[in-house]
Amino acid sequence: MVDFTLWDILRNLLLAARWTVALSLIAFVGGGLVGLGLLVARIARWPGAERFVAGYVQLFQGTPLLMQLFLAYFGLALFGVDTSPWVSAALALTLYTSAFLCEIWRGCVAAVPRGQWEAAQSLALNFSEQLRHVVLPQATRIAIAPTVGFLVQVIKGTALASVIGFVELTKAGTMITNATFQPFLVYSCVALMYFLLCFPVSLTARALERKLHDRR
């Protein structure tokens, strides 16, 4: 039987952690772009946008991420698209992130006082000028802390991609456990690595939140 050192375990986990980071960033950025589009559609009151986006958000917030991953994986395969776990995971996580970010940002826009809209309207600004020069700058400031905070959820969400076979940190942990028969040690290391990824982000989000409230 091969003896595995702690360093062997850590090295393999670290290599897999790269994929966790990559998937998180893709989902976060992609989800942010899609979410922004959904938000604009909702604010600008394009026909049917309100109902569609509300339903979209309800769908992703009211169902397990695991199911969303399964549906992406098996659904894409149905339509003949050659899916790897990587593509399905990226797709599912991007849509998941877009729904949550859209909802977070909608709350931030709603937090801008009505008087700001009215003052801008009274000055003869049209809707896109009101949004661009008065409302969005204020909403963005409010949105920074919760958006950064959601990155933590995305990183944790990538762990579920292991179930559809994507080899990121959690899947590597499972594989190494099967090889070394040391689940306590291995999963402790896995948890520690997620903690090292997420905790700084959580702290940053909290610091940003405090900074926002101090300025008021």
Cβ atoms of residues 35 and 105 within 8 Å: yes
**Cβ count near 187 (within 10 Å):** 15
Q: What Å distances lie between residue 145 and 36, 55, 139, 163, CA to CA?
A: 16, 25, 11, 30
Of the listed pieces 21-29, 87-95, 96-104, 150-158, which binds other proteins according to CB under 8 A?
150-158
d(CA 97, CA 102): 8
Give the CA radius of gyration of the chain.
21
Residue 204 CB, shortest distance to other proteins, in Å, is 12
d(CA 112, CA 4): 56
* Candidate list 75, 146, 175, 212; residue touching other proteins; CB under 8 A: 75
- Report the site for other proteins in 7-46 (rule: CB under 8 A): none
Residue 159 CB, shortest distance to other proteins, in Å, is 4
The residues of the shown chain that bind other proteins, judged by CB under 8 A, are 58-59, 62-68, 70-71, 74-75, 78-80, 113, 115-116, 118-127, 129, 133-134, 137-138, 141, 152, 156-157, 159-160, 162-163, 170, 173-174, 177, 182-188, 190-191, 194-195, 198-199, 202
